[in-house]
Structure 1
Amino acid sequence: MRRRLAALSLVALALTGCGKKSAGQKLYGPNCGICHHGGHGMPGEVPPLVGRLDLIAQTAEGRDYLAHVMLYGLDGKILANGQKYNFSMPGFGRLSDAQLALILNWLIARGHHDAGSNGGDTPAPVMTPEIFARARQTPMGSNHVHALREGLSAKGQIP
């Protein structure tokens, strides 16, 4: 009986597509997952992403900031969910605008539907390739990206 239930569960997973990795998740693993793990980070070492990026991406300013982080990296002391980090993240400008959008949209969707987020009935914010294309037009160092973060943080837009 158990074997039959297990087999039926596997068939159900195969038919519904659950268990398949999305394109964003596949790109996340080798590019971001090395440090951020499953998106939950490591306390005191690497900040969490899940449950935060969807909140940052709610405004055009926040989406612009996230695009700059992905393209140019981020260096310096930051506060994330009340935890202090002295963080250094490389830029991923070698990835295409579409690939960067896939990664962030996967993370945003995960956090948006998480019980700790304010997801609910509202659609998750969306990062488009055009946001990254615009951000590429204003190249900046990771320290300038940090200054963007500080500005958003002062406005209460960075959890």
Structure 2
Amino acid sequence: MRLFSQNISNMSARKKLILLLAVLILPTGCSRHKSPRYLYGSNCGICHHGGEGMAGSVPPLSGRIDRIASTPEGRVYLASVLMNGVSGPIRAAGTRYSAEMPLFRYLSDQEAATILSWLSRQGQTKPAPEITPEEIATARAHRISAGDVAEMRAKLDLKHPLP
């Protein structure tokens, strides 16, 4: 036990945080059997809350994901956001944001697709566009910077104006 505590005291703060997260997350088991609402809440909902975001810092998701997912390019963008994060100024729902979103590569392809499809179903588009695990796997394989994801968004916005 003494050797373990000495090793921990010599760790960097980042390594301690990673260890703490592993200790907290691993005992709960795999979340693949969790509901879409639970997956959203325990991952995206931490910042985006119930979908309304946080004024000035985190963009809303409600009523937007289905509209973005209505084109193949939009689904590629959404999958890229989860797999690579996004960094830089964006405009969402008429408001400018400059927040940083981390990547969520720890999610399985199925979990990420479940979250995005669930968010899509919360919008007005019927039938709601679905994001597939295959689309997530493609985005996972195409690693790009969070800044490149923001550029992808700007190009998509020119072609298909984003909500």
TM-score band by shorter chain is: 0.7 to 0.9
**Aligned with 1:85 (options 75, 85, 97):** 97
Report how far residue 156 of structure 1 moved: 3.3
Distance 1:72 1:49 in 2: 18
AA partner of residue 72 (structure 1): N
Determine which structure has greater relative contact order: mean sequence separation of CA pairs < 8 Å that are 6+ residues apart, divided by chain length.
1
Are positions 1:151 and 2:163 aligned together?
no
Q: CA deviation at 1:90?
A: 0.2
**Could you tell me whether the CA contact under 8 Å between 1:24 and 1:104 is conserved in 2?**
no
* Residues matched between the structures, number: 130
Structure 1 contact 77–85 (Cα < 8 Å) conserved: yes
Task: Extract unaligned runs of 5+ from structure 2.
Answer: 1-33
Residues 103-134 of structure 1 show CA distances to partners (whole Å, capped at 9, x for unaligned) of 1111110123xxxxxx2xx3100001000111
Larger helix share, 1 or 2: 2
Distance 2:54 2:61 in 1: 10
What pairs up with 1:13-32 in 2 under 5 angstroms? 23-32=35-44
Rounded Cα–Cα distance in structure 2 between residues aligned with 1:23 and 1:157: 31
The residue correspondences of 1:1-159 to structure 2 (distance < 5 A) are: 23-112=35-124, 119=125, 122-159=126-163
- TM-score under structure 2 normalisation? 0.77
Measure the CA separation in 1 of the matches of 2:115 and 2:140.
17
Identity of aligned residues (%): 49
Equivalents in 2 of 1:127, 1:156: separation in Å? 18
What amino acid is the match of 2:52? H
How far apart are residue 154 of structure 1 and its match?
1.3
Q: Distance in 2 between matches of 1:84 and 1:66?
A: 18
Q: TM-score, normalised by structure 1?
A: 0.79
RMSD between aligned residues: 1.1
